[in-house]
């Protein structure tokens, strides 16, 4: 591992509010980890994260994060090292949810592998999809790393969790360039032209694109979409923002939806033997993302 910038936070606490099984989305035969009832202390924490996210994620904020992170000058490490690093992320909020991140990675990958034995790249996507969370080691606040994402630069849509109320002090809502339905976009401009709120999805997508370009490999587009938009619930599950979507996005949405159901934590899923699985996944890493990856 080549450290380019020292971490500021050795074991950040992080709860990905996007990955809790939603009550409205309970998968058949699986028990939700948590319900979202108001009296639940976890619910209070989830609410606080989203209020901070929605107040602070502006066009300028996202651009500043692109400038900070898309130089890929924080750390260079192998994918396995990054997975091990991610394991130091702890969630102190809830004894029910102390599933280590590396277990979540392998669990997601293994569940995909069971259903898609031929699509090794899709399994790899399951393994790596949350690696962007290493931003938490560099003092990025929870609300700029995890949680549902949304397009900045246009009016927030109805299905966003906690609604307009949670955008209270967001300065873009007073900016005529951004506070209309389309805001700074044109009709059906495509998600590639949309400035999404900053989080681990977009970051890892850019890391992967940068690395595959460097080493001359490629991951199928559906996998890249799954990485980039798995937290964009207002679109893939809420049905909003269709006016930003182009035909290509529409096709790729199938992969995002396919992926998303493997990402949710469930109580019933078995805990994979991470050490025993590492050799198999190392072959996928060697095939698609070999060597030192720049984060």
Q: Which residues, including other chains, have CB under 8 Å from residue 26's CB and lie 6 or more apart?
A: 32
Q: Which residues, including other chains, have CB under 8 Å from residue 277's CB and lie 6 or more apart?
A: 106, 109, 110
Rank residues 88 and 175 by Cβ distance to Fe ion and give the closer one.
Answer: 88
Rank residues 185 and 203 by Cβ distance to Fe ion and give the closer one.
Answer: 203
* Shortest distance, position 15 Cβ to Fe ion, whole Å: 12
Rank residues 130 and 172 by Cβ distance to Fe ion and give the closer one.
Answer: 130
Site size for Fe ion, by CB under 5 A?
A: 3
Single out the segment in contact with Fe ion by CB under 5 A; choices: 15-23, 66-74, 120-128, 245-253. Answer: 15-23
Rank residues 110 and 130 by Cβ distance to Fe ion and give the closer one.
Answer: 130
Only one residue has tokens 């031929």, namely 118
Rank residues 103 and 189 by Cβ distance to Fe ion and give the closer one.
Answer: 103
Single out the segment in contact with Fe ion by CB under 5 A; choices: 162-170, 183-191, 241-249, 259-267. Answer: 259-267
Single out the segment in contact with Fe ion by CB under 5 A; choices: 63-71, 213-221, 242-250, 258-266. Answer: 258-266
- Sites for Fe ion among residues 18-47 (CB under 5 A): 19
CB burial of 176-196 (b: ≥16 within 10 Å; e: otherwise) equals eebeeeebbbeeebebeebbb
Using rule CB under 5 A, residue 263 touches Fe ion: yes
Using rule CB under 5 A, residue 249 touches Fe ion: no
- Sites for Fe ion among residues 97-156 (CB under 5 A): 130
Residues found near Fe ion in the complex (CB under 5 A): 19, 130, 263
């Amino acid at each position: 591992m080549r450290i380019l910038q020292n971490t500021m936070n050795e074991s950040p606490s992080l709860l990905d509010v996007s990955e809790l099984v939603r009550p409205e989305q309970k998968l058949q035969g699986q028990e939700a980890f948590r319900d979202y009832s108001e009296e639940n202390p976890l619910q209070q924490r989830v609410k606080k994260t989203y209020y901070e996210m929605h107040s602070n994620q502006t066009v300028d904020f996202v651009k500043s994060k692109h400038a900070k992170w898309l130089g890929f000058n924080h750390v260079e490490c192998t994918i396995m090292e990054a997975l091990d690093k991610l394991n130091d992320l702890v969630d102190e909020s809830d004894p029910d949810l102390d599933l280590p991140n590396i277990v979540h990675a392998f669990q997601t990958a293994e569940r995909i592998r069971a259903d898609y034995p031929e699509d090794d790249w899709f399994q790899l996507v399951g393994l790596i999809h949350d690696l962007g969370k290493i931003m938490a080691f560099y003092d990025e606040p929870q609300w700029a790393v995890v949680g549902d994402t949304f397009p900045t630069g246009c009016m927030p849509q109805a299905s966003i969790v906690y609604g307009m109320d949670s955008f209270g002090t967001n300065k873009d809502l007073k900016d005529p360039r951004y506070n209309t339905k389309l805001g700074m976009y044109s009709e059906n401009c495509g998600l590639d032209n949309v400035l999404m709120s900053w989080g681990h999805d977009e970051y890892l997508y850019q890391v992967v694109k940068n690395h595959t370009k460097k080493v001359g490999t490629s991951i199928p587009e559906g996998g890249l979409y799954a990485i980039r938009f798995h937290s964009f619930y207002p679109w893939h599950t809420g049905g909003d923002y269709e006016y930003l979507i182009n035909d290509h996005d529409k096709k790729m949405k199938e992969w995002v939806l396919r992926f998303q159901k493997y990402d949710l934590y469930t109580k019933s899923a078995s805990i994979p033997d991470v050490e025993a699985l590492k050799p198999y996944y190392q072959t996928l890493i060697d095939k698609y993302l070999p060597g030192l990856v720049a984060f």
